[in-house]
Amino acid sequence: MELKEFIENFANQFDETDVSEIHADTRFQDLDEWSSMAAMGIIAMAKVSYGKIVTGKEIRSCETVQELFDLINSK
């Protein structure tokens, strides 16, 4: 899994946030569009795109997109 591809897939979970606004050090929970529905989208993305299972609790333990990428990549 490549970080650039992950960031693009992550950004696709949002309607109004452009991919250019999201970087490895972005604190995703601070994004205006971040919500429990976005978290569910990330859980689904991890399963469908990468075959990895992550929980809401694991997502909440991450602060940045890089940390989320590392979490999913380590599974």
Spell out the per-residue pLDDT of the chain, length 75, in tens: 799 999 999 999 998 988 899 999 999 999 999 999 999 999 999 999 999 999 999 999 999 999 999 999 999
Cα(35)–Cα(38) distance, rounded to whole angstroms?
5
Token pair belonging to 39 = 């978290």
Place of tokens 């609790």: 57
Cα(10)–Cα(4) distance, rounded to whole angstroms?
10
Give, in order, the Cα–Cα distances in Å from 33 to each of 2, 12, 74: 24, 12, 26
CATH number at residue 62: 1.10.1200.10
* Domain around 16: 3-74
Cα(72)–Cα(66) distance, rounded to whole angstroms?
10
pTM for the full predicted model: 0.90
